[in-house]
Every structure is written in structure tokens, then in C-alpha cells.
Amino acid sequence: VLHTHRHLFAHAMGWRAYFGGMWNENLLYLDGEEHAAHRRILAPAFTTAHLGRYLAMMHTVVEERTRDWGARGTVEIRGEMRDLAFDVVARGLLGFAPPERVAALHDLRNAVARNPHSYGKAGYWAHIAARRAALNDALREAVATRLGAGTGDLLGAMTAAQAGGVLDDEHFLGHMQVLLEAGHTTTMDMATWALGLLATHPGYLERARAEVAQVAAEHGEVPTLAALRAMPVLGRAIDEAGRLRTPVDTAPRGTTEALHFAGYHIPQGMFVRLHLGATHRLPTVFAEPDVFDPDRFAPPRQEDRRTPYGLVTFGGGPRICIGLQFAQLEIKALLAHLLRHYDFAPIPEMTPPNVYDPAMLDDSLPRGLPLRFTAR
């Protein structure tokens, strides 16, 4: 599905059925050369050359968003991660400001994505059309008046492609919508679970804290790219959180031809879902797969490398998540900051079960995920 026979599994048929009319035409809905052409427009903004500039902005947002956590004591981290991750994408990739505008865009995004059961079947699509139109109007206004226009960020590249006739208005808006959506919800989930799993595994938490302290002594208090890359213990904890609590639980596709797979006949035009979260719990791939064990990724074990496409937190193959490095950097910078400045611990009666379907977070975390924070 991800590589050798990916031409048989169309993204357009899968993601359109999954999201319906929630978003404009976007990168998720494209296949073949059309997808490749649009990805070439967006990809340069996610290269290593840009990560240093993003990192400075990430540090600013993390400091702003977490500075009062010790005074608050109990912090519901899922909601906090939602706002923090949206800020990072809106400000870093798209150059939107001031904070009031970013908050307004987030409110409009939340209105589009609100649970359809709140409206009933008849009123749901009317709600989607109205809320999406309002979000698009706000995005157009933000683009027209944004700070730092033309400074080489992602939105600058998209604007140039639109002006050159390479990108039409439909896809221009759709790409912004999905960058804001995918760029904050998946990061929010991974950061939430990484914090929650470290809090419930204090032995590994202290190993990660010691690593962060050592790197800070060698590289300085504010981590650089090089400093963050010198934190493999913390990085493996993030990988293990992505394995156990896969942020994109299932990847929807539609079959372009009839095919046989594992003894099954799958007709052409069938809606199928690749269950990434279940893949990460296969005992044939990962030893004791329900156990939090970041050392499974360390030499000599390296369980993720024994089976091709064993770890697919960000997908795999030519269409691996375009924002992979951006998301990993953001989560690592956030955790390194929190480990330096706070002690945190779980609230036992609010610790969620260890299930492999974290995409259903609203069901498994009806009260979010609160942790107790104490300033160091």
C-alpha cells in the first residue's frame, strides 16, 4: 500500500470518503503526477535548511505557552498541545500574526471540524459549507495582511505558485487548510502521549532528563538543531509514543484495480483502511508490543529496522508525511524544555487505558489528559 503497489491504492478515493466536503481540494486528495507537482511546491519549506529558522519560533511559542504551568499545578495537556501546535504551524509555516488572528483561525478550524452529531444529519453539510466558507475568508484576509510576506516561508512559495498560474485558488486554500489541520492535530497527539507516557514511566523520564541536562551543559540552555539531535534517549521516547499511540490510526485508500491480497479478493473501487495503529502492535514486528520500551529502537535491537515499514507513524514510501522533520523537531524542543523546567507526574484516576486506537481520543480521553506540574 505504501510502496510496491501504491498505484493500486488511491489517496483521492480514500481521503475524500473519509473527510467528505470538510476541506477544499488539497494534497491528501491528489494522486500521481498531479500530487508530485503540488508536493514539489511545498517540499522545499520542509527541508533541513529551513529547520533552524523554525526552531527559534518554536522556542518562543513553547516558552509563551508553558511559562505558568508550575503555578497552575494541574495542566490538561491535550488542550494545551492543541493550541501550542496550531500556533507553531500558523506562525512558523504560514507567517500569520498577531496572536489574536491565529486564535481566531483556530476557532474557525474547530468550528469546521466539530462533531457532526451536534447538528443532526440534515444540518451537518449546511454547517460544513458555511464554516468552511468563513475559514476561507479568514485565510484570504490573513494572507493579504500577513507579516513577513515574501520572506521565503511556505506561504511565500505557495503565493508565488499561485501568481504564476501553477496553483489555483481551490488548491491554494485547501493546502493551507490541511497544513493547519494535519500540522497541528498529529503533533498535538504525539506530544500529548509522549508526555503522558514519560510521566507514567519515571525511570525512563529521569534518563531523558539527565540527557537533556548534559546536552544543555555542553551546548547551552536554548537547544540548537545540533543539541536536539544529540538527544537519542529523548528521541526514542518520542518514537515509542508514536508507535503505541499512533496519531494517524488508519490510512484510507480506494482501490484502482481489482487485486488479491493475503487470500482475499478486493474489488476495484473498494474503500479500504490501512490500520497503522494495529501494525505497531504486531508481536512479529515488535517484542512485547504493548509495553512502553523506547530502547527497542536503540542498537543492537533496532526493532523498527528489522521489518521494512514496521514503524509507520508518519506513513512511508514516496508519500511519507511531508512535515515529518518539522513535527519531530517541534515535539523534541517542547519535551526538552519541559524536562529542563518542570517535574511532572500522572493523576492516577485520570490515566487512560493502553489501547491502540488513539485516533478516537475524544472517546478515550473525555477529560483530556491532566498531569501535575511543579517548577524545578
Task: Tell me the pLDDT tens digit for each residue of 167-210.
Answer: 999 999 999 999 998 889 899 989 999 999 999 999 999 999 99
The pLDDT value given to residue 360: 44
Residues 6 or more apart whose Cβ sits within 8 Å of residue 86: 102, 105, 106, 109, 180, 184
Q: Return the pLDDT at 118.
A: 58
What does the alpha-carbon distance between residue 219 and residue 232 come to, in Å, rounded to a whole number?
15
Residues 181 and 256: their CA atoms lie apart, in Å, by: 27
Tens of pLDDT, residue by residue over 312-371, are: 999 999 999 999 999 999 999 999 999 999 999 998 877 766 655 544 444 455 567 899
What DSSP element (H or E) covers 372? Answer: strand 370-375
Task: Check residue 163 and give its pLDDT.
Answer: 87
pTM for the structure as a whole: 0.92
State mean pLDDT over 242-252: 90
pLDDT for the residue 52:
86
CB atoms closer than 10 angstroms to residue 185: 21
Can you list the alpha helix ranges (DSSP code H) found in 245-368? 276-279, 303-306, 324-341, 361-364
Round to whole Å and give the CA distance between 124 and 126.
5
Rounded to whole angstroms, how far apart are CA atoms 23 and 1? 24
Residue 306 · residue 323 · CB < 8 Å: no
User: Does residue 72 register a pLDDT over 60?
Assistant: yes
Q: Which of 65-69, 101-105, 291-295 has the lowest mean pLDDT?
A: 101-105
Share of the chain above pLDDT 90, in %: 64
Q: 10 Å Cβ neighbour count for 241?
A: 27
Which triple of cell numbers denotes residue 95?
507567517
User: Cα separation of 259 and 246, whole Å?
Assistant: 28
Q: What is the C-alpha separation between 120 and 352, in angstroms, rounded?
A: 29
Q: What is the mean pLDDT of residues 236-243?
A: 96
The 10s digit of each residue's pLDDT in 122-133 is 677 778 888 899
- Under the banding of pLDDT at 50, 70 and 90, the label for residue 256 is very high
Q: Which three cell numbers stand for residue 314?
A: 508518519
Residue 17 near residue 252, CB atoms below 8 Å: yes
Query: Is the pLDDT confidence value at 18 over 70?
Result: yes
Model pLDDT, residue 39: 95
H/E run at residue 251: strand 250-255
To which residue does cell 491528489 refer?
30
Q: DSSP string of 177-233?
A: HHHHHHHHHHHHHHHHHHHHHHHT-HHHHHHHHHHHHHHHHHH-SS--HHHHHT-HH
CB 62 within 8 A of CB 228: no
Render 42-101 in DSSP notation, one character per residue.
Answer: HGGGGSHHHHHHHHHHHHHHHHHHHTTHHHH-EEEHHHHHHHHHHHHIIIIIS---SHHH
Beta bridge partners of 265: 260
Q: How many angstroms separate the CA atoms of 108 and 312, rounded?
A: 31
Rounded Cα distance, 373 and 325, in Å: 28
Rounded Cα–Cα distance for residues 60 and 84 (Å): 11
The three-class DSSP label of residue 260 is strand
Average pLDDT over residues 73-85: 93
Percent of the chain with pLDDT over 70: 91
The CB density around residue 150, as the number of other CB atoms within 10 Å, is 11
